[in-house]
C-alpha cells in the first residue's frame, strides 16, 4: 500500500491507496454493513481462494490488511466484489476509481503531480532570484523569496499574501505553475518588480480570458 487517496461520492469520502487498496471499513458504514460479514461468506472464501490461485499467492491474508486507526483494507482485486456486495452502483463507481488509480489516470494523482511540479518550479525560481540579487550586489534574504511568492499568489487570486497550495483546484494549480514559469523567465530577463507584476497580471488575464481585478498595494520591490 502506498499514499492515501481520498475520493468523494454523494458527499461521502472514501479512501484508497494510490496502488488501488480500499478502506472497506469506511466504505461499509453508510450501508450499515461490515467487512467481516462479507469475508465470512462462503462465496467470498471461494473467490479469495480462486484469486490466490490465479495470482500465485500462498497466504490469503496478504490480500487483507487491518490498520489500527482506519480498519480493514482490501486488495484491489477484492475491493470491487466487496463494493458490489454493498451496493451495485457503488461497486461500479469503485471499479472505475481503482481502474484510474492503477493506470495513473485518477484526477487526484494528476493534482499531486501538478503540486510537485509547482514546488519544483518555485525552487528553480528562487535559485534564479538569488543569483540575480547577488549579481546586483545584494544579499538574498528570506523576505525576497516571500515577496516573490506573494506576487505570484496575487497574480493568481488577487491577494498579496500566503496561499494554501494544497487546497487549490487542479485549474488553479495549473495556472500557478504557469505563473511561476513566467516569473522565472521575467527575473532571468532582468525585469523589474513592477514589470513582473504587470506581466504576470496580463498572463493571468490571457489564461482566464477575463479581466483580473485591479488591486493596489505598497510596492515590495527587492
What is this structure's pTM?
0.53
In sequence order, which residues have a C-beta less than 8 Å from that of residue 27 and are 6 or more positions away? Answer: 14, 82, 83, 86, 90, 94
Q: Which cell is 221 given?
A: 520591490
Query: In terms of C-beta density within 10 A (0-12 exposed, 13-18 middle, 19 or more buried), how is residue 98 classed?
Result: buried
| Per-residue pLDDT of the chain in tens (222 residues, 90 and over written 9) | 556 778 888 888 898 987 889 999 999 999 999 999 999 999 999 999 999 999 999 898 899 998 888 899 999 999 999 999 999 999 999 998 888 887 776 666 566 666 677 788 888 899 999 999 998 898 989 999 999 999 999 999 888 888 887 777 777 877 888 898 899 999 999 999 999 999 999 999 888 765 444 333 333 333
| Dihedral pair phi/psi, residue 66, rounded to 5° | -105, 120
Q: 222: closest CA among 113, 159, 138, 119?
A: 138
Amino acid at each position: 500500500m502506498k499514499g492515501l487517496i481520498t475520493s468523494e461520492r454523494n458527499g461521502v469520502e472514501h479512501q484508497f491507496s494510490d496502488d488501488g487498496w480500499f478502506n472497506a471499513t469506511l466504505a461499509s458504514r453508510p450501508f450499515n454493513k461490515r467487512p467481516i460479514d462479507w469475508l465470512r461468506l462462503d462465496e467470498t472464501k471461494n473467490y479469495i481462494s480462486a484469486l490466490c490461485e490465479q495470482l500465485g499467492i500462498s497466504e490469503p491474508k496478504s490480500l487483507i490488511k487491518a490498520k489500527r486507526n482506519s480498519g480493514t483494507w482490501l486488495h484491489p482485486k477484492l475491493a470491487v466484489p466487496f463494493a458490489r456486495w454493498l451496493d451495485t452502483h457503488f461497486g461500479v463507481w469503485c471499479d472505475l476509481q481503482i481502474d484510474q488509480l492503477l493506470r495513473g489516470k485518477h484526477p487526484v494523482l494528476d493534482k499531486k503531480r501538478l503540486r510537485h511540479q509547482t514546488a519544483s518550479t518555485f525552487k528553480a525560481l528562487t535559485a534564479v532570484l538569488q543569483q540575480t540579487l547577488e549579481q546586483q550586489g545584494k544579499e538574498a534574504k528570506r523576505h525576497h523569496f516571500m515577496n516573490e511568492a506573494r506576487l505570484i499568489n496575487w497574480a493568481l487570486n488577487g491577494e498579496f499574501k500566503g496561499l494554501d497550495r494544497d487546497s487549490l483546484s487542479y485549474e488553479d494549480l495549473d495556472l500557478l505553475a504557469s505563473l511561476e514559469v513566467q516569473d522565472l523567465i521575467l527575473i532571468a530577463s532582468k525585469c523589474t518588480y513592477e514589470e513582473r507584476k504587470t506581466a504576470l497580471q496580463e498572463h493571468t488575464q490571457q489564461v482566464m480570458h477575463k479581466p483580473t481585478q485591479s488591486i493596489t498595494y505598497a510596492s515590495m520591490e527587492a
